[in-house]
């Protein structure tokens, strides 16, 4: 398992959880995950999570959003065929942004078949404190799952 975190307090918290749970299969990169994605071998990831990222709600900050074309290209390269990219947010504008970009990207297919597929957190998704805060504030989180489409020779 590989976790990426840019904030020192987040890294410290993650290290505490790793130690408390006695996990030996966790590696932490203290940097932006898009930088790590570019260095990973092709098809090396079986599942990726982006849970409640900063939505950067101001239009002038949208360039900072994780889900954008060049990062999706790196993610598509690193994900194995059939691998999942899971995204969660409680921010409606960011949800629309993510759906628009991932539905337009040739490497990803939205896995949802029913409204419950995005309205209810699947049991194998880890809950986060940001999800708890959203629920406490009366906001409804959205849980999106995309699958990496199989590669065709010479295709993305």
73 in Cβ contact with 109 (< 8 Å): no
The per-residue pLDDT for range 118-150, each reduced to its tens digit, is 999 988 888 888 899 999 999 999 999 999 999
- The pLDDT score that the predictor gives to residue 3 is 66
Looking at the structure, do residues 123 and 50 belong to the same domain, yes or no?
yes
39: Cβ contacts below 8 Å, ≥ 6 apart: none
* 90 among known catalytic residues: no
* Greater model confidence, 91 or 34: 91
Selecting among 32, 54, 81, 93, the annotated active-site residue is 54
Distance CA(90)–CA(133), nearest Å, equals 10
Say if 153 falls within a structural domain: no
Say if 49 falls within a structural domain: yes
27: Cβ contacts below 8 Å, ≥ 6 apart: 1, 2, 3
For residue 20, the enclosing domain spans 1-31
Looking at the structure, do residues 16 and 46 belong to the same domain, yes or no?
no
Count CB atoms within 10 A of the CB of residue 29.
Answer: 15
């Amino acid at each position: 398992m590989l976790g990426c975190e840019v904030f020192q307090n987040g890294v410290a918290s993650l290290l505490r959880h790793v130690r408390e749970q006695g996990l030996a299969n966790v590696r932490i990169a203290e940097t932006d995950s898009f930088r790590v994605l570019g260095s990973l071998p092709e098809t090396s990831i079986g599942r990726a999570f982006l849970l409640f990222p900063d939505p950067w709600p101001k239009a002038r900050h949208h360039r900072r959003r994780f889900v954008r074309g060049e990062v999706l290209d790196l993610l598509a390269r690193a994900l194995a065929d059939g691998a999942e990219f899971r995204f969660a947010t409680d921010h409606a504008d960011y949800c629309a942004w993510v759906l628009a970009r991932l539905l337009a990207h040739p490497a990803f297919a939205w896995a949802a078949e029913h409204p419950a597929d995005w309205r209810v957190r699947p049991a194998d998704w880890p809950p986060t404190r940001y999800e708890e805060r959203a629920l406490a504030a009366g906001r409804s989180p959205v849980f999106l799952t995309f699958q990496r489409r199989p590669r065709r020779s010479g295709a993305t």
